[in-house]
Amino acid sequence: MKSKHATVRIPFASSLLAALIATAATQVSYAADDQSATWAQKIITPEFALKAAEAAKAECTKHGWPVTVAVTDPSGLPIVVLRDRLAGWHTFEVAIGKARTAASWRSPTSAVAANVTKPDAAEKAILNQPGVVMIGGGIPIEAAGSMVGAIGVSGAPGGANDDICGKAGIAAIESDLSF
């Protein structure tokens, strides 16, 4: 009994498959020959990000400041966000924005803000970028000369006080980051 369905042969299918295999083989050999085509990056672990966030929140709590603390990877993506139950709703996004900004500029947000807000600053357009938060409270986290993440604190009265808490968070993990 013959099938009702006709078989359609596509002549280029085998050529396409051969081309894909050849391309894949070339890519594998290229990667093996040229190690500079890749890079390695150290990133703070979720466990130590949480430890830093808890220490920063504890420092703020000691002063009576309900805050949100965010710890990001070096690209500014959140790893941990910890919010005091009394922290304002706005502190959630602001803490993430501070950490993201510190990670992106690889500098504390208080320093970036001081440079960007000068009357003759060429970088003034940065202030209009979505997600950028230009107030103290965002600090890069470094280990052995490399940035491994960033911490952002929001909710204390003023950026300088957010910085105090962020620095306490980093201090809590400094010995863990020494390598």
Domain spans, the chain: 46-177
- pLDDT at position 21 is 54
What value does the mean pLDDT take over residues 130-146?
93
Predicted TM-score of the model (pTM): 0.78
Integer angstrom CA distances of residue 64 from 30, 60, 87, 88: 57, 6, 11, 14
What does the pLDDT look like over 33-71, one tens digit per residue?
557 788 888 999 999 999 999 999 999 999 999 999 999
Q: How far is CA 152 from CA 168, 170, 179, in A?
A: 12, 11, 24
Per-residue pLDDT tens over the stretch 7-34: 444 454 455 444 545 555 545 444 455 5
* Mean pLDDT, residues 70-79 taken together: 98
> Domain 46-177, what architecture?
2-Layer Sandwich (3.30)
